[in-house]
Amino acid sequence: MTTLLTGGAGFIGSHLIEHILEHSEEQVLVLDDCSTGRTQNLPESKRVELVNGDVRDQSLVTEHVQRSNYVYHLAAAVGVEKIVDHPLDSLKTNLTGTENVLEAAAEQNVPTFIASSSEVYGKSTAVPFSESDNRVLGPTTSPRWSYASAKAVDEAYGLAYHEEHNFPVVVGRYFNIVGPRQSGQYGMVIPTFVEQALTNEPLTVYGDGTQTRSFTHVEEAVRATYELLRTPTAQGDVYNIGAPQPTSINDLAERVVELTDSDSEIEHIPYEVAYDEDFEEPQQREPDVTLLEETIGWKPETELDRILKDVIAERKPKLTEVA
C-alpha cells in the first residue's frame, strides 16, 4: 500500500507523513519541488521516498499517481506575500497542479484529498463559516483574491470529477494551520511573531490588529486530513478543518510577548505600507466544524497557548544557536 503526498516536504505534508508512518504500514511517496518545502522536514524512514518534481508536470504526476493507493494533494503556492508578489505563478501552480492530480487519480480511481483554504470565504462576515455559505470576494484587480478564486476552482474541479467519474474525492478547507516547522518566510503570523519576540524585535501587526483568526494545531489538522480520506461517508463533500476559537491579532501578539518573556513592543503597520493600496484583509476567520464532527466523530480543540508553546519550544534553540 502506497500513499502519495504532493507538497509532502512542506509544513503540513511533513506532519501528515509522520501521522501515516505512525498509524499505518503504508509506503509514502512524496512529490515536491522543494520551492517552499524542505527535505529536512521529511522523517528519516525507509518507507519514505522523495521525488523532486513539479505538480505542473502532467506526465510526472500521472506516473506517481499510478503507483499509489491514496493521494493527498497538498502542493500549492501559499502565503499572502508570495501570492501578492507572484500572482501568475501562484495561479498556475494551484490550478494546473490540481487538474493534473485529479485527471490522473480519476483515471486510476485513486481516493484523493484536495487541500483548500478558508480564503475561499473571502471577506464574508457571516461567522462562523459553514461549508455551504456564500462566498464574498473583492475585485479581480486585487491580487489578494486570486488565491481564493483558485482554491475555489480547485474545489469545483474535485467535486466535478467525483460527480462525473464517480471516484472518491474529499476537500478540506484549512483554517490557519500552525505548529513546529512552519516558516514565517511568506507572512505566516505565528512563526513571525515568535521569532520577533525571541529576538526582542518589534512584533509587526498589519492594520489595527482587531482582525480575528482561528488557529489550528497541525497535529489535529493532519489527523482530520488522514481520517477524512479513509472515511467513505466523507466522499464528495467539503469540510472545514479548524479550531473554532478565534482570537484577534492584537491579543495574539500580546500572548506571544508574554509567553516568550520578551521585551518586544507591538508595532502597527498600515496595509497600504506593507503591501499596496489595493490590498484587502478579511476581518474574520472562524469555522463551523459541525460537519467534520458528525463525519469523523471529533473536532480540533487544541488551545492557542499549547500551539504557541510548541512553536516557541522549537524556535528558541535555533535562534539561540544563531545568536
Q: Provide the pLDDT for residue 89.
A: 77
Q: Provide the pLDDT for residue 184.
A: 75
Q: Provide the pLDDT for residue 297.
A: 97
Q: Provide the pLDDT for residue 76.
A: 82
Distances in Å between the alpha carbon of 100 and those of 5, 66, 148, 174, 216?
Answer: 14, 12, 19, 21, 29
Q: Which CATH architecture has domain 189-211+245-286+303-322?
A: Alpha-Beta Complex (3.90)
- β-bridge mates for residue 30, sequence order: 5, 50
Q: Provide the pLDDT for residue 265.
A: 97
Q: Where do the H-state alpha helices sit in 125-277?
A: 144-165, 189-198, 218-229, 249-260, 271-274
158: its cell numbers: 474535485
The Cα 144–Cα 236 span in angstroms is: 28
Q: Would you kindly state where each structural domain of the chain is located, as residue ranges?
A: 2-178+215-241, 189-211+245-286+303-322
CB 170 within 8 A of CB 114: yes
Q: Provide the pLDDT for residue 121.
A: 96
Write down the catalytic residue from 147, 157, 161, 174.
147
Taking the CA atoms of residue 149, residue 122, residue 129 and residue 151 in that order, the dihedral angle to the nearest 10 degrees is 20
Q: Provide the pLDDT for residue 60.
A: 96
Q: Provide the pLDDT for residue 82.
A: 63
The DSSP output letter for 91 is H
The Cα 128–Cα 126 span in angstroms is: 6
The Cα 221–Cα 310 span in angstroms is: 15
272: its cell numbers: 497600504
The Cα 182–Cα 192 span in angstroms is: 10
10-residue mean pLDDT series, the chain (323 residues): 96 97 96 90 95 95 97 82 71 90 96 96 94 92 83 95 94 96 82 96 94 96 98 97 95 98 95 67 91 97 94 85 51
CATH number assigned to the domain covering 2-178+215-241? 3.40.50.720
Q: Provide the pLDDT for residue 79.
A: 59
Q: Provide the pLDDT for residue 145.
A: 85
Closest CA to 10 of 25, 32, 27: 32
Closest CA to 87 of 132, 12, 25, 148: 148
Q: Annotated catalytic, 147?
A: yes
